[in-house]
Amino acid sequence: MARVKPEKAKSLESWIWDAACSIRGAKDAPKYKDYILPLIFTKRLCDVFDDELNRIAREVGSRKKAFQLAKADHKLVRFYLPLVPDDPEQPVWSVIRKLADQIGEGVTTHMRAIAKENPLLQGIIDRVDFNATTHGQRDLDDDRLSNLIEAVSTKRLGLEDVEADIIGKSYEYLIRKFAEGGGQSAGEFYTPPEVGTIMSKVLQPEPGMEIYDPTCGSGGLLVKCEIAMEESTKGKKRTVAPLKLFGQEFTPETWAMANMNMIIHDMEGQIEIGDTFKNPKFRSKGKLRTFDRVVANPMWNQDWFTEGDYDNDELERFPAGAGFPGKSSADWGWVQHMHASLNNKGRAAVVLDTGAASRGSGNAGTNKEKTVRQWFVDHDLIESVLYLPENLFYNTTAPGIVLFLNKAKPKARQGKVFLVNASQVFEKGDPKNFIPDAGIQRIAETLVGWKEEEKLSRIVDHAELKKNDYNISPSRYIHTSDAETYRPLAEIVAELEVIEAEARETDKALREILGKIGV
C-alpha cells in the first residue's frame, strides 16, 4: 500500500475541518460535533466497504455478485453495510449522498440499519437523531445537513486513499479543533497530543500489553500508547501483537467518540460506559481487574465524591493510611484507583492539577490530601513527576503535572523520585501554547533516562521530600531562572482555592454541631 505523503495528510485535515464548518462556520462547528463525527466516520466505513467489495468483485466477476456474497456472509468484510445503490457500480456512500428530501430522517434510518447489522457499532453511530427538533425547530435542518454531506463527499477515505493512521490523525485534529471552541467542557474529552505522547513514550508499552484508561474521554491516550508501541518496534508493527486497549467513559456522547476513534485508527479496544469512580466496569472474580499500564487525565479537583464513597468501596482501592483526600479534590482518589488497577509490575501516568503535588505541605496541622501523598511516597510508588508549561489545556490556563507510578521500581531508583520542571519547554501558539517535537523528545528522554540537567531535572531522595513536608512539585526543587525565588502564581492560587473550600466545609460542619447543641 502506498504511503500518503505528509502534505496529503495536511490537506485531509483542512478538508475535514472545512466539512465541519460547512454547517454554520468555524465558530459554531463545535456545537455540531455529535453530527459531524458520526457522519465522517460513516463515510470512512462506506469507502472501506467499497474497497472490500471491489476485492471480492475481482474474484467473482462483478460488484453485483460481491454485494450478494457480503450480504450472505458478513465475515467476508469487517463491517457489513446494508446500503445498496440502484447501480451496484456506484459508491456505497451514494445512497446517503443522493437523499433529496427528508434527509435527516433518511440519514438516521441508514445509520441505525448499519448499527443493527454490526453489534460493535450499536450505540455508537445510531445514537444521534439527525432529524431531532427542539421546540418545534430542527436542530440541524436539511439544507445544512445537505451541505455537510456534500462537503464530506468531496474526498474518498478508502484503504487505498488514506491509511488508518492518517485518517486517525485527521480525526484527532478535528477533535482538537472542537476542543478549541468548546470552552470549559473541552478538557472532559481531550488531552493535548504532546502530553499524551510524552506519557506513552515514558511508559514504554510493549507488544501485547493491556492498557487501561479509567477516564478515557475520546480515547486519545490509549491511541497514543498503541502508536508509541508501534514506533518502538521499528517498523515491525504488522508482525508484533497489538496492545489490548481498555477504557471507561462517563458521558455517552464522548463514549461514542472514543469508540469511533478506536475504529477509525484501526485499533480494537473495549470502551465501557459509566462512572468509573463509583462503579468501575473492569472486574475479575469480584475484584478490580489489573493492567500492565494505566493512563488517565481525570477532571481536576472533582468535589462531588464524599468520604462515604471511599469508606464504602468494596474493591480495596483506598488503603488504610491513604483513603479520603478531602471533599474539595478527588485527584488523589483517582491516583489510588489507578494504583489499584495496576498489576505487580505495572506502571501508570496521570495528569493532575499542580496543586495535587503540594497542597497541605508546610501548613500547620494535618491535611488529608498531604496524608495520601505521603502514603504514596513512603510506599515508594512515585517514580517521577513532570511539571508542564502553562496554557496547554483547553479548559484551563493552569500548567498541570504528570505523575508517574511504578509498582516495581528498579533497585537503583528506590527511595528516590525524579522531578522534571518543563515549564519553559514550549512555544507560543494560538489559542494555546504547545510543546514542539524537539521538546517532546527532550522531556521523554530525560524522564526515561533519569538524566539530571540544571534548571530542568533533579533526582530527589525521600529524606529531602520528607524535610519539605512531602511537597513533590518540581517547581519547589528546580528553579528555571536565577531570578525565580517564588512558586508559580497559578499553583499558589489553586492551593488557596482548595484551602478556602476546606475552610467553608469546616465552618459548615461546625455550624451544624453548634445547631444540634442549641448554641
pLDDT in tens, 285-310: 999 999 999 999 999 999 989 999 99
Instruction: Give the model's pLDDT for residue 485.
Output: 45
- Chain segment 169-199, per-residue pLDDT in tens: 777 888 888 877 765 454 566 889 999 999 9
The continuous run of DSSP H or E covering 35 comes out as helix 33-60
Instruction: Examine residue 221 and state whether it is found in any structural domain, yes or no.
Output: yes
Residues of the chain with pLDDT under 70: 1-10, 26, 182-189, 235-239, 364-365, 482-495, 497-499, 501-503, 506, 518-519
In degrees, rounded to 5, the angle at the alpha carbon of residue 176 between the alpha carbons of residues 173 and 182 is: 150
User: CA 156, CA 45: separation in Å to the nearest integer?
Assistant: 11
Distance (Å) of CA 62 to CA 65, 66, 68, 89: 5, 6, 10, 9
* Residue in this structure with the C-alpha cell 477532571, named with its chain if needed: 299
448 three-class SS: helix
Tell whether 279 and 146 lie within a shared domain. no
Instruction: Give the model's pLDDT for residue 502.
Output: 66
Q: Which residues contact 111 (CB under 8 A, 6 or more apart)?
A: 38, 42, 125, 126, 128, 130
Report yes or no: 323 and 317 within 8 Å, Cβ to Cβ.
Answer: no
Strand 283-284 and strand 287-288: pairing?
antiparallel
Around Cβ 318, how many Cβ atoms within 10 Å? 22
Q: Omega of the bond prior to 431 within 30 degrees of 0, cis?
A: yes
Calculate the CA 353 to chain-centre distance: 16
Tell whether 441 and 484 lie within a shared domain. yes
Tell whether 281 and 152 lie within a shared domain. no
Q: Give residue 88's domain range.
A: 6-176
Instruction: Give the model's pLDDT for residue 167.
Output: 77
Instruction: Give the model's pLDDT for residue 9.
Output: 52
Q: Which of 119, 151, 176 is the last residue of a domain?
A: 176
b/e burial code for range 459-482 (CB count within 10 A of at least 16 → b): ebebeebeebebbbbbbbbbebee
Tell whether 71 and 188 lie within a shared domain. no
pTM: 0.86
Domain count, the chain: 2
Instruction: Examine residue 501 and state whether it is found in any structural domain, yes or no.
Output: no
DSSP state of 365: S
* Residue in this structure with the C-alpha cell 457522519, named with its chain if needed: 39
Q: Which of 144, 176, 208 is the last residue of a domain?
A: 176
Instruction: Give the model's pLDDT for residue 165.
Output: 74
Tell whether 114 and 172 lie within a shared domain. yes
Distance (Å) of CA 189 to CA 35, 179, 180, 215, 247: 16, 8, 12, 9, 13
Instruction: Examine residue 26 and state whether it is found in any structural domain, yes or no.
Output: yes
Tell whether 71 and 100 lie within a shared domain. yes
Find the CATH number of the domain harbouring 61: 1.20.1260.30
Tell whether 164 and 222 lie within a shared domain. no
Q: Give the up-direction half-sphere exposure of residue 209: CA atoms within 13 A in the CB hemisphere.
A: 23
Tell whether 264 and 164 lie within a shared domain. no
Q: Residue 404 is placed in which grid cell?
A: 508517574
User: CA 19, CA 204: separation in Å to the nearest integer?
Assistant: 36
Tell whether 112 and 167 lie within a shared domain. yes
Q: Which of 133, 160, 176 is the last residue of a domain?
A: 176
Tell whether 89 and 190 lie within a shared domain. no
Q: Residue 8 is placed in which grid cell?
A: 496529503
- Tallying the residues shown for the chain, one arrives at 519
